[in-house]
Amino acid sequence: MTISSAPLPDLLSVDVVLPCLDEAEALPRVLERVPPGWRALVVDNGSTDGSARIARTLGATVVREERRGFGAACHAGLAAATADVVCFCDCDASLDPADLVPFVREILAGEADLVLGRRRPQTRGAWPVHARAGNLALTRLLRRRTGLRLHDLGPLRAARRGPLLALGLTDRRSGYPLQMVVRAAEAGWRIAEHDVPYRPRTGASKVTGTWRGTWQAVRDMSRVLAEPATAAEQAETRTATEQTEPTTTTGQPETGTTTEQTEPTTTTGQPETRTTTEQAGPATATEQTEPTATTGQPETGTTTEQGVRA
């Protein structure tokens, strides 16, 4: 396996999750750009072009996820990861895993809890217009929901493994990256965004390269934004409202009246407790049905194979 000759810092152990569906052509380029000492977790999501075999030959650890979906592949990789810091990167050579190095440095320095890459197209065809329009609309909706002023919801990102599992992510389709940001914001995470080069992908796009794929991705993400706010977010909203609304002092109670202690109100906007047949990742507070959240083991139906680095 050939690694970039550019000197990279000797950081703590890092796992890079690479969701993969028929990326045989792009894999060699992507894996050679993984920084030295980091482990590449290639999550094979049903490839038929020999992607898993190529990844093992090049020294990557292959995780097999039978359930189709971008979120399913990403979460299977997160569950299989063991490093303190976990990164995510597309496996189509449009993004460079080496660009994750400053992201990880920022996480380890305690300067941010989640670092995202803002894609900057290097050629006109790298990012189709319809995909960029959909991304812009979603970032505006995200700003309305959380107050975050992000410019992109791209896949290149880094965070610590334990806190990521604690978010209890449940989306297993294209809404997974957005749900990660929404729940991180609700949990009070410090979220940073940095520009990264974005190049034309290798091979045919399964999502943003087509109008149909983009529409499905936007639909999945819109569903995430429509989820009820968590108790923490509601409490924060109430606190902000109480701090901004003027209060009127009425003085002493009138004669013949008594002052009563009001009972705490019960938040009614909590997400409903539910069990889904597809949920196999770390459970939320109301979905403690899987051991993944505490053990970090791959989900049911997920197998991990260690490759031998050439």
Cα(227)–Cα(220) distance, integer angstroms? 11
pLDDT tens for 263-279 read 444 444 444 434 333 33
Grade residue 214 by pLDDT with cuts at 50, 70 and 90: low
- Say what percent of the chain tops pLDDT 70: 64
Least confident of 106-110, 215-219, 266-270: 266-270
Grade residue 287 by pLDDT with cuts at 50, 70 and 90: very low
Top-confidence residue, 45 or 248 = 45
Give how far the C-alpha of residue 225 lies from the chain's centroid of Cα atoms, to the nearest Å: 14
- Say what percent of the chain tops pLDDT 90: 51
64 has which bridge partners? 44, 303
Residue 25 has pLDDT above 90, yes or no: yes
* Residue 64 near residue 44, CB atoms below 8 Å: yes
Cα(133)–Cα(138) distance, integer angstroms? 9
Least confident of 79-88, 251-260, 299-308: 251-260
pLDDT tens for 145-158 read 999 999 999 899 99
Buried b (16+ CB within 10 A) or exposed e, 175-189: bbbbbbbbbbbbeeb
pLDDT at 296: 47
18 has which bridge partners? 42
